[in-house]
């Protein structure tokens, strides 16, 4: 891989304009120095200081190398890489209360080699997993050591694992590919016994950063800020989704992603829909994500971020640095669209946003919302990233390199959907913050997304509300398994007898709750027994119709059970019935005693002929829990 062009003199250097050359001289202070952070980097640094997110912005890969790779040559390659790339020999410090990068002329190499070739297989697998997980989840000592690490695990003489982890403060995916390309060339030089050679980086990260700052200053910056204000002003700043939480248990902030799009017919359908409509596959998936959010919340206005390279710099210059930045997309509509229409809306919004991508994410939020939302902020923060191809891997002569794991922490976001083109077609994965959402919820989310995408591709004109959301098994669970709540009970005994048995088995168990009122099984049985004795003293016996005219409450439950225990027949009357309906029910049932409230008893007394009914009484539960019956004065 070559990062420069060879002129007639044989010198491999990038072509520089006079203005850029002067800029480099202005900002470059030698091999060591202080580099300011961008607003996005500063915000990410603040996030990393939170207890729940010590490693949420780590990026890296696990690669299996077969064929006798020389780890010493590999170590030398990483040392030369660190010497060339200024951010790889940087730590984090404070300058005037603001975080900055402290670039050192030299720095210890964060390289570790572990030999597990003599371990028994079961122990080796366990140790490998512990080492790999530790490499990804162990926080960087940002003030003392560089923000990256490399780990070599020797499995056997001709096989090992190479683990590279780097912090997103100093790198993105394009930078990771720069790293792999450079160590490939440095390794090849060592293996051939030749000196390291790559053209000197004439445009270092510091110069590219300064160039970007100057390019988006003055009128250009004001234009971008005004455009983003028009896009984001008044947008919803919080969407509450099922399964999200504001805080959670202390867990590693970087966990393996949940994979999806492993169904070949779905991936083929996305590509076919893209060819037919001219909408890119990534936009189709993004539209599916918006549709799922709509089905979860019934909302019509969403802000979900994607990712774009700011200013068109970065990996193409052979420089390691965080040149990708989140880009918020506001997707909204008045009338519920069909899936095809939503895909068109999403594509148009993406196109316009990419044309105005040269502000940092924090500056965009500040322009659109007036003040940036705190990074831990409102839930959820969702990002959908697209990669046109899989990651480029290092190439070592005579060595077969296979990627086993790719990990890319969610950073300031709670849920990150990654879409990439793999060897077998589209591939998808979801990274997430375990302090904000659990793995099972993410797995269900991916199933909903795939189900809705399948429905949208099959019937693109159907409105979003008519597309399927639940996969077959979950739909059966809701409509069949959870809906069949019957249990077999003994038909020879009544419900009041079942309550009595339960009061003996679990007297302290909660039997009923209504607002702030509650009773245990023991209390419910005792109160209903007391009421039954009172009713019998009122003449209630086997088959005596007893009316119960009460709103839904624990008192109503006590009355129903008390009537049954006394041997009576319950005649339940709804408090919302008209007086004529109440009178008709009482007369037809031959009710001889009515349990009700004083308020309802007074209403009942206004019915002509009501004084002919012998007993209209009401129920009181005293503070001691004793049931008292009393005749209403107006009855």
HEC profile of 436-495? CCCHHHHHHHHHHHHHHHHHHHHCCCCEHHHCCCCCHHHHHHHHHHCCCCCCCCCCCCCH
From the list 59, 67, 60, the residue with the least C-alpha distance to 155 is 67
Round to whole Å and give the CA distance between 45 and 142: 10
Q: How far apart are CA 563 and CA 548, in angstroms?
A: 9
What confidence score (pLDDT) does residue 21 get?
A: 42
Quote the CA–CA distance of 427 and 418 in Å, as a whole number.
8
Kindly report the average pLDDT of the chain as a whole number.
82
The residue among 623 and 297 whose pLDDT is bigger is 297
What top-level class would CATH report for the domain 31-203?
alpha beta
Q: Do 332 and 300 meet the contact criterion of CB atoms below 8 Å apart?
A: yes
CATH number for the segment(s) 495-631: 3.40.50.980
Is the separation of the CB atoms in 167 and 57 below 8 Å?
yes
Buried b (16+ CB within 10 A) or exposed e, 279-315: bbbbbbbbbbbbbbbbbbeeeeebbbbbbbbbbebbb
Query: For residues 544 and 568, is the Cβ–Cβ distance under 8 A?
Result: yes
Q: Which residues, listed in sequence order, are joined to residue 235 by a DSSP beta bridge?
A: none
Fold adopted by 209-390+406-481: Chloramphenicol Acetyltransferase (3.30.559)
pTM listed for this prediction:
0.69
Of all residues in the chain, the percent with pLDDT exceeding 70 is: 83
**Residue 470 above 50 pLDDT?**
yes
DSSP state of 148: E
Decide if 31-203 and 209-390+406-481 have a common fold. yes
Checking if the pLDDT of 149 tops 90, the result is yes
User: Domain segments of the chain: what residues?
Assistant: 31-203, 209-390+406-481, 495-631
Q: What is the CA radius of gyration of the chain?
A: 35
Are the C-beta atoms of residues 597 and 550 closer than 8 Å to each other?
yes
Distance CA 597, CA 552 (A): 12
CA distance 453 to 398: 43
Which one has a higher pLDDT value, 499 or 597?
499
For the stretch 426-462, pLDDT in tens is 889 999 888 778 899 999 999 999 999 999 999 999 9
> Which pLDDT score, from 0 to 100, does residue 577 have?
79
220: Cβ–Cβ under 8 A, 6 or more apart, which residues? 358
- Omega into 380 within 30° of 0, i.e. cis? yes
């Amino acid at each position: 891989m070559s990062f420069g062009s060879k002129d007639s003199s044989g010198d491999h250097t990038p072509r520089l304009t006079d203005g850029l050359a002067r800029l480099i001289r202005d900002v470059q202070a030698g091999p060591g120095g202080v580099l300011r952070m961008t607003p996005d980097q500063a915000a990410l640094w603040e996030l990393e200081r939170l207890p729940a997110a010590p490693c949420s912005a780590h990026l890296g890969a696990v690669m299996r190398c077969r064929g006798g790779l020389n780890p010493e040559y590999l170590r030398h390659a990483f040392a030369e890489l660190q010497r060339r790339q200024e951010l790889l020999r940087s730590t984090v410090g404070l300058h005037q209360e603001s975080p900055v990068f402290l670039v050192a002329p030299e720095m210890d190499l964060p390289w570790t080699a572990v030999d597990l070739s003599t371990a028994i297989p079961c122990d080796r697998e366990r140790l490998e997993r512990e080492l790999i997980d530790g490499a990804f989840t162990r926080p960087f000592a940002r003030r003392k050591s560089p923000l990256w690490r490399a780990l070599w695990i020797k499995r056997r003489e001709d096989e090992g694992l190479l683990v590279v982890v780097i912090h997103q403060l100093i790198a993105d995916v394009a930078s990771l590919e720069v790293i792999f390309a450079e160590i490939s060339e440095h390794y090849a030089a060592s293996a051939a016994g030749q000196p390291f050679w790559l053209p000197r980086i004439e445009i270092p990260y510091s110069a590219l950063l300064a160039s970007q700052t100057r390019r988006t200053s003055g009128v250009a910056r004001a234009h971008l800020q005004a455009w983003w204000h028009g896009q984001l002003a008044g947008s919803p700043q919080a969407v509450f989704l099922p399964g999200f939480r504001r805080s959670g248990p202390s867990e590693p902030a970087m966990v393996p992603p949940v994979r999806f799009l492993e169904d070949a017919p779905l991936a083929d359908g996305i590509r076919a829909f893209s060819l037919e409509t001219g909408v890119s596959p990534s936009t189709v998936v993004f539209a599916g994500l918006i549709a799922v959010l709509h089905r979860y919340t019934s909302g019509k206005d969403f802000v979900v971020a994607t990712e774009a390279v700011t200013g068109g710099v970065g990996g193409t210059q052979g420089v390691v640095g965080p040149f990708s930045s989140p880009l918020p997309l506001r997707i909204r509509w008045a009338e519920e669209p069909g899936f095809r229409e939503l895909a068109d809306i999403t594509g148009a919004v993406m196109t316009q946003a990419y044309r105005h991508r040269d502000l940092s994410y924090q500056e965009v939020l500040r322009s659109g919302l007036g003040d940036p939302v705190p990074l831990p902020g409102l839930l959820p923060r969702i990002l959908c990233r697209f990669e046109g191809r899989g990651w480029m891997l290092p190439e070592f002569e005579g060595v077969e390199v296979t990627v086993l794991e790719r990990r890319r922490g969610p950073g300031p976001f709670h849920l990150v959907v990654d879409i990439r083109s793999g060897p077998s077609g589209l591939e998808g994965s979801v990274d997430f913050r375990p302090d904000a959402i659990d793995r099972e919820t993410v797995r269900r989310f991916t199933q909903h997304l795939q189900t809705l995408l399948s429905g949208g591709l099959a019937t693109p004109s159907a409105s979003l509300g008519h597309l399927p959301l639940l996969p077959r098994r979950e739909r059966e669970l809701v409509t069949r398994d959870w809906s069949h709540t019957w249990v077999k009970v003994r038909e020879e005994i009544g419900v009041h007898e079942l309550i009595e048995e339960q009061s003996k088995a679990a007297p302290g168990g909660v039997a009923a709750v209504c607002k702030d009122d509650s009773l245990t099984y023991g209390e419910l049985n005792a109160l209903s027994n007391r009421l039954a004795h009172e009713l019998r003293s009122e003449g209630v016996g086997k088959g005596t119709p007893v009316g119960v005219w009460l709103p839904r409450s624990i008192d109503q439950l006590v009355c129903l059970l008390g009537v049954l225990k006394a041997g009576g027949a319950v005649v339940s009357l709804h408090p919302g019935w008209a007086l004529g309906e109440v009178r008709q029910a009482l007369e037809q049932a031959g009710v001889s005693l009515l349990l009700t409230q004083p308020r309802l008893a007074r209403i009942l007394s206004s019915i002509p002929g009501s004084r002919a009914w012998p007993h209209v009484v009401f129920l009181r539960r005293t503070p001691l829990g004793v049931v008292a019956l009393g005749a209403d004065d107006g009855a």
